[in-house]
Amino acid sequence: MLTTEGREPNTTEYYAKLPINVPSNVSPTSAPHLQPTIGLIGMGAMGRMYAKHLRQAGWSRIHVCDVPEKYEELKEEYSNAENIYVMRDGHAVARSSDFIIYSVEAEFIERVVAQYGPSTKMYAVVAGQTSVKAPEKVAFEKHLPLDVHIVSCHSLHGPGVSPLGQPLVIIQHRGSDEAKELVENILRPLGSRHVHLSYEEHDLVTANTQAVTHAAFLSMGTAWASAQSYPWEQGLYVGGIETAKVNIALRIYSNAWHVYAGLAILNPDARTQIDRYAASATELFKLMLEGGGGGEEERRRFRERVKWGQKIVFGDVDDDSKRKRRPILLSEGILDKFSLGTPAPLETPPSPMLPSSEIQASSSTSSTEPPTKYRPNSHLSLLAMVDCWAHLSINPYTHLSLAATPIFRLFLGVAEYLFLSPTLLSASIHSALFDTWHRADDLEFVVAARGWSQCVSFRSFEVYRRRFEKTRAFFEGRFEEAGRVGSAMIKAIMESEVQREEEERLG
């Protein structure tokens, strides 16, 4: 495909000089004739979120569309929404818009761009909201005219989370500095924190911060559904750490399956990490069984495996001088007010098989670390998470301030709280080795984790969908309360995190 000058652009110089259709420093307060027409192709949950916030910001022309069969329904829905104009299809949006966002599932991005991309307005700027950028990059390079800019984006949070303060990735792939500035100014009213990455860096970061996190919570939900048990109603998995695990798992299953499928199936880094997580869960569970039924040597192997992961990921936890940051969760009490259930009475007596050295470790406390008031369990999902990070040499803190999602930040905070607490970690190790009441639940979790790993390895969206929706059906009727409580929990944690990061920046 040739440019309007009849030559094939092969350097960044061409795009550096390629004009854009509106001033790059435009804002919602600019005169309407100076403002860009913003196009949204795809009006799913994220497309609607963008439409809502961009309209509220005051942008005067927002053209939107979805699949043709939803045209009348969408037109009726937005009939009274000032500044939002529903178009019949992507051709109408692409040919009329100065900035276009494809808010389309990664599985379908090439098909949609192939259909509507050739209609793109000359000198427009095009972005995509896909969670996996490799297919998007291929689609844009293959099907967009050469006289348009590619400056993509991705909000690293779900549609139910406020974009304020959240990371928003900006990818200046094939566009001028003016095109990048235009995108930043259009999206600035979201109040998000702009993070500049390449397509390749984006996919690595999202794999590191989202892939295994999603796999962990998907496995928890599947395990509960397989056991036909709502854990918070039994009083066995309630309060503190369990509150975060339950609320986030329900939050994930309340969303659409494709939100997670594209990232898991189409991102090679994600597939590797999900496979490693399943392996870590399996290996740790085997060591638990061997230790619980064996002698001191078998118990030592399990303890050393857990301690190895702790050291690799969190460093020397006994040296307070090396603690460079305030923990994400200051106490379990922060989470208690967001619990969905009531803890059962603590009735678990000390195991007669517990070695004297571990009795001492389990009972020792410090003035700043009271013993947990909740019934101990193995926390296998967290042990496997840290073990997975350690095996893959992933430092979870690397991307924390760069591009961490609220769910990843909270899950890291829970893992950090467990592994930085000698009392809690000792109780977890002891329970893993000697308590049997949670063995069936741990087995279900391991089976679920391996099942999700195999599902992703098949690279079948249909298999993923069926597995997700089967589990989701088990939790129907619980999503409204869990969504409300989960949103409040994430809001409380994020407010604390924003304050912490501001203090660290100033300090």
Burial class (CB in 10 A: 0-12, 13-18, 19+), 115: middle
CA angle (119 as vertex; 118, 121 as ends), nearest 5: 115
Looking up tokens 């999902």 gives 381
Q: Which residues contact 439 (CB under 8 A, 6 or more apart)?
A: none
Per mean pLDDT, which range of 58-67, 271-280, 358-367, 429-438 is the poorest? 358-367
Q: Report the pLDDT value the prediction gives residue 413, as an integer from 0 to 100.
A: 87
Q: Which H or E run contains 278?
A: helix 268-293
Angle between helices 199-206 and 268-293 (to 10 degrees): 20
Distance CA 147, CA 144 (A): 8
Q: Report the pLDDT value the prediction gives residue 499, as an integer from 0 to 100.
A: 65
Confidence of residue 483 (pLDDT cuts 50, 70, 90): low
Confidence of residue 491 (pLDDT cuts 50, 70, 90): confident
DSSP sequence for 84-153: EEE-SSHHHHHHH-SEEEE---GGGHHHHHHHHGGGPPTT-EEEE--S-HHHHHHHHHHHS-TTSEEEEE
Fold of 12-196: Rossmann fold (3.40.50)
Distance CA 116, CA 111 (A): 9
Distance CA 382, CA 80 (A): 48
* Residue 481 in this model has a pLDDT that exceeds 60: yes
Tokens representing 381?
Answer: 């999902």
* Residue 469 in this model has a pLDDT that exceeds 60: yes
Confidence of residue 211 (pLDDT cuts 50, 70, 90): confident
Say how far residue 376 (Cα) sits from the centre of its chain: 27
Question: What rounded mean pLDDT belongs to the chain?
Answer: 86
Helix ranges (DSSP H) in 353-460:
356-363, 380-391, 400-403, 406-419, 422-434, 439-458
Amino acid letter at 438? H
pTM: 0.82
Distance CA 309, CA 295 (A): 22
Phi-psi region of 61 (alpha: psi -120 to 50; beta: other; left: phi over 0): beta
Q: Report the pLDDT value the prediction gives residue 466, as an integer from 0 to 100.
A: 96
Distance CA 97, CA 61 (A): 9
For the stretch 398-417, pLDDT in tens is 877 777 788 888 889 889 98
Residue span(s) of the chain under CATH 3.40.50.720 come to 12-196
Q: Report the pLDDT value the prediction gives residue 506, as an integer from 0 to 100.
A: 63
The values of phi and psi at residue 178, to 5°, are -65, -40
For the stretch 3-46, pLDDT in tens is 444 456 657 889 999 999 999 999 999 999 999 999 999 999 99
Distance CA 153, CA 440 (A): 43
Q: Which H or E run contains 17?
A: helix 12-17
Q: Report the pLDDT value the prediction gives residue 501, as an integer from 0 to 100.
A: 63
